[in-house]
Amino acid sequence: MTATALQFKDWMGQVQAQMESALSHYLPASTHIPERLHDAMRYSVLDGGKRVRPLLVFAAGQLVDAEPQRLQAVGAAVEMIHAYSLVHDDMPPMDNDVLRRGKPTVHIAFGEATALLAGDALQTAAFDVLTASTLADQPQDQLKMVNILARASGSLGMCGGQGIDLYSVGQALTLPELEHMHILKTGALIRAAVLLGSYCGTPLSDEQRTDLDHYAKCIGLAFQVVDDILDCEADSATLGKTAGKDAANNKPTYVALLGMKGAKQKAEELKQAAFTALASFGEKAQLLHALAGYIVDRKY
Amino acid sequence: MTATALQFKDWMGQVQAQMESALSHYLPASTHIPERLHDAMRYSVLDGGKRVRPLLVFAAGQLVDAEPQRLQAVGAAVEMIHAYSLVHDDMPPMDNDVLRRGKPTVHIAFGEATALLAGDALQTAAFDVLTASTLADQPQDQLKMVNILARASGSLGMCGGQGIDLYSVGQALTLPELEHMHILKTGALIRAAVLLGSYCGTPLSDEQRTDLDHYAKCIGLAFQVVDDILDCEADSATLGKTAGKDAANNKPTYVALLGMKGAKQKAEELKQAAFTALASFGEKAQLLHALAGYIVDRKY
């Protein structure tokens, strides 16, 4: 491993540790009534996950010299949205999955009613954290941040992507249709993570914001392409979740549409486009650059 | 009916009509992908309900001379939170109910997966609407509004109340425990509706805000006491939902704890306390006063 790669790995570890403690701080304690609900919320969020979205929040924060405390709150909000979507997506009416991050899914561990409520309350908690303290220099910008997160998560964003996914099981999607689904299902929240982080410090110019947005869209899509590749190649133990289930469920994937070689080429192209979008930021985009590489080259 | 009662009824009808059109405007169109998800969201929100929470938003808005457009957006946000909670509460892991507002519940009409997603997306839509346009004179106040709604809806508010309800089925609750559950489950969102409406216009003094908050807490609790009474007395056709199910489910209610006479007395006391809290506002609290009467004296 090179010196830079080691530094990046250290940085990731530091952010992940900070986020673990920030999430624990922002989630209500297990001793708070109703205890079982709070246990389930904490179970689903803490001690797991790569924290890709918070890492993106922090990396975008580097661009604008944002205070770490603001980035922790924003990272926690985005991660809570992500966690809630996993809890509900794993439930029997959706994917009916029993394993997540190497642990029983929430409805297996706590029952379906608690899983339903825990997902609901996690979503609310995200908007609570995002408005409980000052996270941008101007309150107007912070309102914009809440709106970006809401738009990215709702029926025209992540939730809409899950709907399209649900209604397309067993159907032959075209590449543009598949792309649209993933832009919503995974891309929208990843894009929001990058944008939100960039609102936490010195404001960017409109031109810079456009460049950053392009970066965010590229890695959002790349993330899903790589997920599809890994779902085909890896085994369940490495992934920490049930592998090969997309193919088993007859779900459309990039690998199914483009072949393994085509999917890998697509991921590489998106990574290069993300790099290009960062060019004008220079040194300040070092972490965003490294994260694009990490997202595409990861093995799980 | 007296002239004042007629005027109040007219005002209610006007707000209900305004809210129907505002909600239709704020919800994504059924033609928008994924259509089935948007159909379900619209089905669960439109053409039904007494719109008690938006009525409270508008009545509180009268106190502060708020613009109707702001109140419509705030009313829509609160009603979306209420609607999402009903969609999820009706699902099989929770109440497993098939009838709501005289129509099949969302999971019966659209399936459980769509009901799960529609509830999720409705919650998000509330926070979208609450941040998509200017709703208070100061952006700082609007951020506060978002935080009030989040706190009222989450695991320390409505969702927590649903959790306590869930975990107390078949258990003997004391009156303070029952009260705590209802303050969270129903009271928190009703209180938020009143507070949010009051942020849409000329700022109140701290003293006025305390009075208004006391009013909001009284009617929030009164609403649930009356719900328990109606659940015992009314039939399903009048209620538009399955009657008597609390007793059938062995759920603790005010009627079970206080008897019918005691429950009615409790509702009356809360109404009087609400009236008293409004005293200092004079004429401007006319609608809030009438609504407290409506909430306690309603027959369904």
**Residue B118 pLDDT more than 80?**
yes
For position B171, what pLDDT does the model report? 82
> Quick one: tokens of A163?
């709907």
Could you tell me if A113 lies within 8 Å of chain B, comparing CB atoms? yes
For position A24, what pLDDT does the model report? 98
Question: Are A131 and B146 a contacting pair at CB < 8 A?
Answer: yes
**Residues B108-129: what's their mean pLDDT?**
98
Residue A280's CB is within 10 A of a number of other CB atoms, namely 12
For position A1, what pLDDT does the model report? 62
For position A6, what pLDDT does the model report? 79
Select the more confidently predicted residue: B33 or A256: B33
B117 → closest Cβ in A124, A127, A162:
A162
For position B234, what pLDDT does the model report? 73
pLDDT band at B250 (very low <50, low <70, confident <90, very high): low
Could you tell me if A138 lies within 8 Å of chain B, comparing CB atoms? yes
Q: State the smallest CA–CA distance between residue A254 and chain B in angstroms.
A: 20
List domains and CATH numbers for chain B.
Answer: 3-297 (1.10.600.10)
This complex has an ipTM of 0.94
Select the more confidently predicted residue: A95 or B2: A95
For position B136, what pLDDT does the model report? 98
For position B48, what pLDDT does the model report? 77
**Residue B242 pLDDT more than 90?**
no
Could you tell me if A111 lies within 8 Å of chain B, comparing CB atoms? yes
DSSP secondary structure of chain A: --HHHHHHHHHHHHHHHHHHHHHHHHSPPTTSSSHHHHHHHHHHHSS-S--HHHHHHHHHHHHTT--HHHHHHHHHHHHHHHHHHHHHHTSTTTT---EETTEE-HHHHH-HHHHHHHHHHHHHHHHHHHHHS--SSSHHHHHHHHHHHHHHHSTTTHHHHHHHHHHTTTS---HHHHHHHHIIIIIHHHHHHHHHHHTSSSPPPHHHHHHHHHHHHHHHHHHHHHHHHHHHHS-HHHHTS-TTHHHHTT---HHHHHHHHHHHHHHHHHHHHHHHHHGGGGGGGHHHHHHHHHHHH---
Q: What percent of chain B has pLDDT over 70?
A: 94
Question: Are A163 and B117 a contacting pair at CB < 8 A?
Answer: yes
Rg of the Cα trace of chain A?
A: 18
**Residue B39 pLDDT more than 80?**
yes
Collapsing DSSP to helix, strand or coil, B32 comes out as coil
For position B61, what pLDDT does the model report? 98
User: Which one of A84, A116, A249 would you mutate to disrupt binding with B, by most B Cβ within 10 Å of its Cβ?
Assistant: A116
Question: Are B155 and A38 a contacting pair at CB < 8 A?
Answer: yes
B-contacting residues of A 164-193, CB under 8 Å? Answer: 164, 166-167, 180
How is residue B258 annotated by DSSP? Answer: H
**Residue B222 pLDDT more than 60?**
yes
**A103 strand-pairing partners:** A100
B160 → closest Cβ in A34, A84, A150:
A34
**Residue B49 pLDDT more than 90?**
no
Mean pLDDT by 10 residues, chain A (300 residues): 82 97 98 97 92 98 97 98 98 95 95 98 98 98 98 98 91 87 95 98 96 97 93 67 59 86 96 97 96 90
For position B249, what pLDDT does the model report? 61
**B104 strand-pairing partners:** B99
User: Which one of A89, A91, A155 would you mutate to disrupt binding with B, by most B Cβ within 10 Å of its Cβ?
Assistant: A155
For position B246, what pLDDT does the model report? 60
A-contacting residues of B 279-298, CB under 8 Å? Answer: none
H/E/C letters for each residue in B145-200? HHHHHHHHHCCCCHHHHHHHHHHCCCCCCCHHHHHHHHHHHHHHHHHHHHHHHHCC
Look-up of token digits 């919320």: A41
**Residues B280-298: what's their mean pLDDT?**
95
Could you tell me if A121 lies within 8 Å of chain B, comparing CB atoms? yes
Q: State the smallest CA–CA distance between residue A10 and chain B in angstroms.
A: 35
